[in-house]
């Protein structure tokens, strides 16, 4: 069995051939399905202080990637989304902005315009690489990425080739992630951050989720992301827990932190706080930051704002969960 205490240099060796990468990924410890699901259930049962509820709601708002990924998206819709991202509650100047706006590549210029203020701007994320299917040639995927970066995207959310992964062509998946990461480069030497989407609802097992998490991190992912939001099941707490264990162990092995983004199906403040609890308990408090944990969501923000207003009036109806402080 592969040791998770491997040095960074020895981890680099596992990507030198398809056989070496396969040995490493299949040598990772297996995931105890019952244990993962029982742990998730247990983390949703503890009490939380009122001050921690308020903190958790604001933190969750700051972690939202406010998203529109529809064929009917228009510049006007994206501009409205950007305005909401900057001022989620126009009546309350203490309400924080969200982390980013996430759109299709052709909508990036409108998103950049919408979230730019005299004091700076929010991040703009763009899906790429033939989202959501990932079914196109590599040259098209790379051009898709370069176009989004040139238009001003700060972050690229790519999708892996699930067919390649599920048939064991791990090196193909690895090399494509590396190539997309290189396509995130800007002329000034900086680059857009890369989020790698697994579409976990198609990966069949928790063991596959652990393997693909390590594969993406070895290839240089800045974030690993559960889903496109177009396939069910999308994000789940057990899958996210497995991914959080992977980023925790990867940091222990290499010293490099990688973010996690569950996306799809997270609609209520109750859901969001459950995720924050799992982040804190599994990966640790360093990940309780928008730089390291995001929610891919469209409807979640509305409920967070509703519960935030209810907190201020004493009518909060959210969960009594474990404290985050």
Residue 43: pLDDT band by 50, 70, 90 thresholds? confident
Is residue 265 assigned to a domain?
A: yes
Task: Check if 261 is active-site.
Answer: yes
Query: Taking 50 as the threshold, does the pLDDT of residue 68 lie above it?
Result: yes
SS3 at position 127: strand
To the nearest 10 degrees (0 to 180), the angle between helices 269-278 and 237-254 is: 30
Instruction: State the catalytic residue, choosing from 65, 154, 157, 249.
Output: 157
Sign of the C-alpha dihedral computed for residues 105, 106, 108 and 111 taken in this order: negative
Residue 97's domain comprises 32-313
The 10s digit of each residue's pLDDT in 78-122 is 999 999 999 999 999 999 999 999 999 999 999 999 999 998 899
Using the predicted structure, report yes or no on whether residue 3 has a pLDDT greater than 90.
Answer: no
222: annotated active-site residue:
no
- Catalytic member of 195, 249, 261, 271: 261
Only one residue has tokens 């690993």, namely: 224
From 154, 225, 249, 303, active-site residue = 225
pLDDT, mean of residues 157-167: 97
Mean pLDDT of 198-206: 96
**Which residues touch 57 (CB under 8 Å, ≥6 apart)?**
269, 273, 304, 307, 308, 311, 318
Residue 143 inside a domain? The answer is yes
Residue 314 has which token pair?
Answer: 């004493």
15 belongs to a structural domain: no
**pTM for this entry:** 0.93
Instruction: Tally the domains of the chain.
Output: 1
323 in any annotated domain: no
- CATH number for the domain spanning 117: value is 3.20.20.70
Q: Is residue 320 part of a domain?
A: no
Mean pLDDT value of segment 45-61 = 84
Residue 95 domain-assigned? yes
Average pLDDT over residues 182-191: 97
Residue 17 within any structural domain of the chain? no
Q: Is 77 a catalytic residue?
A: no
- pLDDT (0 to 100) of residue 52: 86
Q: How confident is the model at residue 203 (pLDDT cuts 50, 70, 90)?
A: very high
SS3 content of the chain, % helix, strand, coil (to 5): 50, 15, 40
């Amino acid at each position: 069995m592969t040791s998770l205490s491997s040095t960074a240099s020895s981890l680099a060796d596992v990507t030198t051939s398809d056989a070496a990468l396969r040995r490493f990924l299949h040598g990772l410890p297996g995931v105890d399905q019952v244990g993962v699901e029982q742990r998730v259930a247990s983390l949703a049962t503890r009490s939380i202080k009122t001050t921690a509820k308020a903190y958790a709601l604001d933190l969750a708002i700051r972690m939202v990637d406010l998203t529109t990924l529809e064929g009917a998206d228009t510049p006007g819709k994206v501009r409205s989304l950007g305005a909401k991202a900057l001022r989620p509650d126009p009546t309350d100047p203490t309400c924080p902005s969200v982390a980013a706006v996430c759109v299709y590549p052709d909508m990036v210029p409108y998103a950049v315009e919408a979230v730019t203020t005299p004091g700076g701007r929010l991040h703009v994320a763009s899906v790429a690489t033939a989202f959501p299917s990932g079914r196109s040639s590599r040259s098209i995927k790379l051009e898709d990425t370069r176009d989004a970066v040139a238009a001003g995207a700060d972050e690229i959310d790519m999708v892996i080739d699930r067919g390649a992964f599920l048939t064991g062509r791990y090196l193909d998946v690895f090399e494509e992630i590396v190539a997309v990461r290189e396509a995130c480069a800007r002329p000034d030497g900086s680059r857009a951050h890369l989020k790698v989407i697994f579409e976990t609802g198609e990966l069949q097992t928790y063991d596959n989720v652990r393997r693909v998490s390590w594969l993406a991190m070895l290839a240089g992912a800045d974030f690993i992301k559960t889903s496109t939001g177009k396939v069910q099941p999308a994000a789940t707490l057990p899958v996210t827990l497995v991914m959080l264990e992977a980023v925790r162990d990867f940091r222990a092995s290499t010293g490099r932190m990688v973010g996690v983004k569950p996306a799809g199906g997270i609609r209520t403040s109750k859901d969001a706080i459950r995720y924050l609890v799992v982040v804190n308990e599994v990966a640790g408090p360093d990940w309780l930051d928008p730089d390291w944990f995001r929610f891919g969501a469209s409807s979640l923000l509305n409920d967070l704002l509703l519960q935030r207003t209810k907190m201020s009036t004493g009518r909060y109806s959210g969960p009594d969960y474990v404290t985050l402080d």
